[in-house]
């Protein structure tokens, strides 16, 4: 067995770490203060090529694959999980087009997404919920020249930063009654709704997309009518959950680094607190959970690149790593004592960010449902 | 930024790079007390920082004028990773000079290898190097390669322009910045100020994956093994130690006149004043 990353992926990891430390870290204070995404960063990410990691070269990407995407989201999230989650949801939009779109749709939408003209998104969740796809209310009624869309999507990452959102709506009843579409933002009847405020991931744009008698042409249907459930499940389970796992992995890595740094620097009773067993045990727990999380994440991405079924492994990674990020950022925060609750220290941000990762892409309970079904089958 | 030149042929540029221990992890570097060599196993190698400036300058010239950029290193086999990074940055081909006979080389023995490889590669217009390496800091390899190739060298360059059949370079010296001109071929070593190196893009990383690094050993270079590695190194290391820097402070007492007199006396005693 070879546990080393492939050489080109190791280079991606080093490069994105460098980029995140130099170009993203200085933006974090402003993102925390304003809760706004730094729009200029989109173009920079496009120039670096991390928006096109899973986009084939013929559409302006590098096609380096899902393991490269995993380490890129991890490294970005180590510095800013808000940018990390934006990047990973962008990839969800891209993956939908790469896997299911027509050649014309790929030609039209993938190159600008790779260049960073705007961020991608994949809008599924509605006020009625996200995991219960059949419970959605948005409708797409067939008209002679296309579809008439009505409905509202919420909790959509990159909602206001995306000029061509991908979404699903009901074209009938039952599992085959859902279809996927892409809509150009300047289409009549489409509007960006309110921006939503989260307890963490400040600076990641989250909000509503509103369809009010929005006429979408037939050529904007992704795949065939009735493919929406298949599209949504594949993209959520194989791309979205892997992306949330990568985001949480970055938070976990950052929490580990902050915990170790603080424990070695902070002295009590004349010695660094890293000399205290109570601190050492917590550091050991964080270290082991970080390592196991990374193994789960990389394996899931490796399976995806190999073209093998990875939905269970990805769900396992998402569920375990987001929970680990929450537990470990809490431990790291507690190692900081009272300082950990101060806004001047990054660890409080990691803890808040980790909490938001729990429900994104399906709650831990949904994750456990998927994992246990596979285990018991 | 290199200026547009009016030249008939496209430039052939060779960049010499050196893998050095990652400066961000130097706290993990340990000196083996017996061999007096650095134990590098805990610190991954990276491209020497100033060599990245040299690559960046080559890329800017290539983007403005066209041409081909070749990267060369003399290093252990795992330096193929640094060459892959150079290819990802936009270099067109890469050569790894690696042989057990090259081990323990000083600057001259290293320069002999590099010069032999450059001669074998063929026609060159420019050879670029970093002004010095972060681990050795001798600044010798670049000029030694130039001597062996019998071409002019301009060192510590902070600004470079291509002009006709040559270059105009601003070189940093201790007393002044001096402007030199040279015809092709020439060897240039760069200081950090010359540019801001780019990061390898993802498309570049993908492209580099498909380019094979050419590996040459002593036999490939046709070089006498007595001239390379430890055997070919006139420099013999006797000892390696951490210098101790002692500091002392003394507070003088008295009136301004007395203090001045005392201070002058002490400075003369320490031979800091005549």
Search chain B and give the residue with CA nearest A20. B199
Shortest Cα distance, chain B CAs vs residue A72, angstroms = 10
Report pLDDT for B245. Answer: 77
With respect to residue B53, please indicate whether it lies within any of the assigned structural domains.
yes
Report pLDDT for B3. Answer: 47
Report pLDDT for B237. Answer: 80
Supply the CATH number for residue B25's domain.
Answer: 3.40.50.620
**CB spacing of B84 vs A68 below 8 angstroms:** no
Sign of the CA dihedral with B194 first, then B199, B204, and B210 last: positive
Could you read off the pLDDT of A67-94 as tens digits, one per residue?
999 999 999 999 999 999 999 999 999 9
With respect to residue B223, please indicate whether it lies within any of the assigned structural domains.
yes
- Interface of chain A against chain B, CB under 8 Å? 7-8, 10-12, 15, 18-19, 47-50, 52-53, 57, 61-64, 68
**Which domains are present in chain A?**
7-115 (1.10.540.10), 122-225 (2.40.110.10), 229-376 (1.20.140.10)
Mean pLDDT across B6-29: 86
Report pLDDT for B180. Answer: 95
Above 50 in pLDDT, residue B186? Answer: yes
Above 70 in pLDDT, residue B266? Answer: yes
Indicate the SS3 state at residue A221: strand
Read off the pLDDT band of A133 (50, 70, 90): confident
Above 80 in pLDDT, residue B8? Answer: no
Higher local confidence (pLDDT), A127 or B120? B120
Could you read off the pLDDT of A170-183 as tens digits, one per residue?
999 999 999 999 99
Shortest Cα distance, chain B CAs vs residue A69, angstroms = 10
Above 90 in pLDDT, residue B202? Answer: yes
Report pLDDT for A135. Answer: 87
Shortest Cα distance, chain A CAs vs residue B47, angstroms = 12
Domain ranges, residue B146: 12-227
Could you read off the pLDDT of B112-152 as tens digits, one per residue?
999 999 999 999 999 999 999 988 889 999 999 999 999 99
Place of tokens 């959102």: A165
With respect to residue B232, please indicate whether it lies within any of the assigned structural domains.
no
Above 50 in pLDDT, residue A20? Answer: yes
Collect all residues with Cβ–Cβ distance below 8 Å to A34 and sequence separation of at least 6: A203
Cβ proximity of A23 and A44 under 8 Å: yes
With respect to residue B207, please indicate whether it lies within any of the assigned structural domains.
yes
Above 60 in pLDDT, residue B223? Answer: yes
Percentage of the residues of chain B whose pLDDT score is greater than 90:
74
Report the relative pairing of strands B126-130 and B186-190 from DSSP bridges: parallel
In this structure, the number of other CB atoms found within 10 A of the CB of residue B137 comes to 9
Indicate the SS3 state at residue A119: coil
With respect to residue B210, please indicate whether it lies within any of the assigned structural domains.
yes
Percentage of the residues of chain A whose pLDDT score is greater than 70:
100
With respect to residue B121, please indicate whether it lies within any of the assigned structural domains.
yes
Report chain A's mean pLDDT, rounded to a whole number. Answer: 96
> Angle at CA A71, nearest 5°, toward A67 and A76?
145
Search chain A and give the residue with CA nearest B201. A48
With respect to residue B215, please indicate whether it lies within any of the assigned structural domains.
yes
Report chain B's mean pLDDT, rounded to a whole number. Answer: 91
Provide the domain count of chain B. Answer: 1
Higher local confidence (pLDDT), A1 or A254? A254
Above 90 in pLDDT, residue A301? Answer: yes
């Amino acid at each position: 067995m070879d546990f080393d990353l492939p050489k080109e992926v190791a280079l991606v990891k080093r490069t994105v770490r460098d980029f995140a430390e130099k170009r993203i870290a200085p933006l974090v204070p402003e993102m925390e203060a304003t809760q706004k995404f730094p729009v200029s960063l989109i173009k920079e990410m496009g120039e670096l090529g991390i928006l096109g990691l899973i986009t084939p070269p013929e559409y302006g990407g590098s096609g380096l694959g899902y393991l490269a995407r995993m380490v890129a989201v991890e490294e970005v999230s180590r510095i800013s999980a808000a940018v990390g989650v934006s990047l990973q949801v962008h990839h969800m939009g891209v993956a939908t087009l790469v896997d299911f779109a027509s050649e014309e749709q790929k030609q039209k939408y993938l190159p600008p997404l790779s260049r960073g003209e705007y961020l991608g998104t994949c809008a599924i969740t509605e006020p009625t919920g996200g995991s219960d796809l059949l419970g959605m209310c948005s409708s797409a009624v067939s008209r002679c020249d296309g579809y008439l869309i009505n409905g509202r999507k919420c909790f959509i990452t990159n909602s206001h930063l995306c000029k061509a959102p991908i979404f699903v709506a009901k074209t009938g009843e039952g599992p085959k009654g859902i279809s996927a579409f892409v809509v150009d933002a300047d289409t009549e009847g489409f509007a960006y709704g309110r921006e939503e405020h989260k307890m963490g991931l400040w600076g990641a744009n989250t909000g509503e997309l509103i369809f009010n008698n929005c006429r979408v042409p037939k050529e904007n249907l992704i795949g065939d009518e009735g493919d929406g459930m298949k599209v949504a499940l594949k993209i959520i389970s194989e791309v979205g959950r892997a992306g949330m796992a990568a985001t949480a992995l970055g938070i976990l890595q950052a929490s580990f680094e902050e915990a170790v740094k603080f424990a070695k620097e902070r002295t009590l009773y004349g010695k660094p607190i890293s000399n205290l067993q109570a601190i050492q045990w917590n550091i050991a727990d964080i270290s082991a959970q970080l390592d196991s999380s990374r193994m789960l994440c990389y394996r899931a991405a490796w399976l995806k690149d190999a073209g093998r079924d990875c939905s269970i492994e990805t769900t396992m990674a998402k569920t375990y790593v987001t929970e680990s990020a929450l537990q470990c950022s809490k431990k790291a925060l507690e190692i900081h004592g009272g300082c950990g609750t101060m806004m001047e220290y990054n660890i409080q941000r990691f803890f808040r960010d980790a909490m938001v990762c729990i429900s994104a892409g399906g709650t831990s309970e949904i994750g456990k449902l998927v994992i246990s079904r596979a285990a018991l089958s | 930024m290199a200026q547009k030149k009016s030249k008939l042929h496209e430039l052939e540029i060779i960049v010499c790079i050196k893998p050095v221990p990652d400066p961000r992890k130097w706290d993990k570097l340990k000196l083996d007390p017996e061999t007096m060599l650095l134990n590098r196993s805990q610190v991954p190698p990276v491209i020497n920082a100033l060599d990245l400036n040299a690559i960046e300058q080559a890329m800017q010239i290539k983007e403005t004028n066209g041409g081909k950029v070749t990267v060369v290193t003399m290093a252990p086999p795992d330096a193929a990773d640094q060459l892959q990074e150079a290819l990802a940055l936009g270099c067109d081909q890469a050569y790894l000079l690696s042989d057990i006979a090259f081990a323990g080389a000083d600057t001259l023995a290293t320069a002999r290898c590099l010069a032999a490889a450059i001669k074998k590669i063929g026609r060159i217009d420019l050879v670029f190097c970093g002004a010095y390496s972060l681990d050795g800091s001798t600044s010798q390899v670049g000029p030694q390669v130039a001597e062996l190739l019998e071409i002019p060298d301009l060192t510590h360059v902070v600004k470079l322009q291509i002009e006709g059949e040559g270059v105009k370079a601003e070189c940093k010296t201790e007393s002044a910045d001096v402007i030199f001109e040279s015809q092709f071929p020439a060897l240039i070593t760069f200081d950090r100020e010359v540019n801001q190196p780019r990061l390898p893009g993802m498309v570049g990383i993908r492209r580099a994956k498909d380019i094979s690094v050419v590996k040459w050993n002593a036999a490939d270079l046709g070089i006498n093994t007595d001239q390379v590695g430890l055997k070919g190194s006139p420099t013999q290391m006797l000892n390696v130690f951490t210098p101790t820097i002692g500091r002392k402070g003394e507070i003088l007492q008295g009136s301004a006149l007395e203090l001045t007199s005392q201070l002058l006396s002490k400075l003369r005693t320490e031979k800091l004043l005549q």
